[in-house]
Structure 1
């Protein structure tokens, strides 16, 4: 059964495109190897995938440079000189871009303005005003963020202070504060003191407020209930 004819167009699915490239690349390299052996030919193939990976095939005992040199001698062209000239042209363009950028920077700092016309000075002024507005907006945003952070810290400190005042006030009003958990029955605890033997209870005495965050635990004192 004959295979259907494949339409030659770009494969949209990236995975299928990469698989097809890999298969056909191996097939081309195999044909090049056979051509080298059967016909004693010198073959050099350079391929770049869509992902930027380089693949090449070179006939045994041959280098790419040798093949390019023979190609240049056959056609009478100098590929290396042409490539060097292109590189020089690109270098000159990059130098011009760098020169213009340095000139713009100096002008934004108030230097080398004598050669500018009124229109150019007006455009430069508008650009600087726009840049200044962006800097100010960013500055105010940073300041507002710092203020909000400071307010949160103040609210946390106020809440801690309020909790401490509530705890100290509860201790002043209740002499047995800390003997039982919240919701416990004081009478059940004090009832044991009516017997013949005294009852010992632990009273937790928290450290002063200045030591709350020092990492030191609360002192334990024994209280005798009579």
Structure 2
């Protein structure tokens, strides 16, 4: 008896369950053919909601499989823009690898494979780096001393101004005290210096 007609599953739950089972089955078959037949296998599946599922043989990568596909089929999968971007990524990756190697050398690691000239260059680089670090430390020390001197001068100026204010305040208080006592001594003299002349005729003294 032959298989029934294959049609889209309308029920979303049943469709998702079937998708998960069939996807697992396809990946299982891909692994089996890769192991049994020493084949390079790559599988890419997108679900109905756009979720990506992929499988690739352990001994290769999906980009390598796609590159082989492009070479053998003659179909262009990437335009010049993507090729340029890929080349730039490879260049940056290579530079990063070289920088990691240089960093290990500067840390004194992996030096056995280096020639004497390369070791001399590393030694000079370390000496230059040490000199630059010392110069930078001296710059920070000078700046620190300059800031301390500025703070010290500001403190002295502030103390001098406060002293001036104290002196001026003391002088002002003394002037107020002198003026107050002088006023008290002068008031009785004013009272006895002037004699009241009666304006009524009967109150005048007999001559």
* Structure showing the higher helix proportion among its residues: 2
Specify the TM-score bucket, using the shorter chain as the normaliser: 0.3 to 0.5
Compare relative contact order (CA 8 Å, sep 6+) and give the higher one, 1 or 2. Answer: 1
- TM-score normalised per structure 2: 0.44
* Structure showing the higher strand proportion among its residues: 1
- Structure with greater Cα Rg: 2
